[in-house]
Amino acid sequence: MTIILSIDPASNKAEKSNTGVTLIENGKLLNYWCLPYGIRGIREWHKKEFKNIKFDKVIFEHFEARDNAKSKDNTVLETIAEIQRLIPEAEPFRNGGYQMDVTNELLKKLGMWNFGKSHHADVRASARLALFYALRNDIEDFIIGVGEELIERIQS
């Protein structure tokens, strides 16, 4: 059994920006968090929740700084730096192509589309990243678990 803790980091500029965090074991959503704002949200969550979370792998969405246009928000890099400070074992992972490999339909069928009253897109991005990571890194038990979860949900 492989448990992935996946983080979609938020901006430190946009007050309504959220960090999405999911904990997924072999295709089954164990828990999720929608953290307000960037660094502040990560710090509070880490202090309250992190010590109680069991996982095998921690990943976060890799982010590359954009040009200096005023509309560009590179403050996500500040959140990433805080994630790396608080969770040194966290590994960056590029999400290029993840919407093609981990489709909206797959997320819906796995129950990883709507997340209570949270800002779904950030938590959804985190879940998609975890599934994509397992797929791209050939984590066999995780991938088999996704298939088993799909079969169970289809048969129910």
The DSSP bridge pattern shows strands 18-25 and 57-61 to be unpaired
Domains of the chain: 3-155 (3.30.420.10)
pLDDT at 131 over 90: yes
pLDDT tens for 87-118 read 999 999 998 888 899 999 999 999 999 987 66
pLDDT tens for 71-95 read 566 788 999 999 999 999 999 999 8
Q: Which residues on neighbouring strands pair with residue 31, listed in sequence order?
A: 23
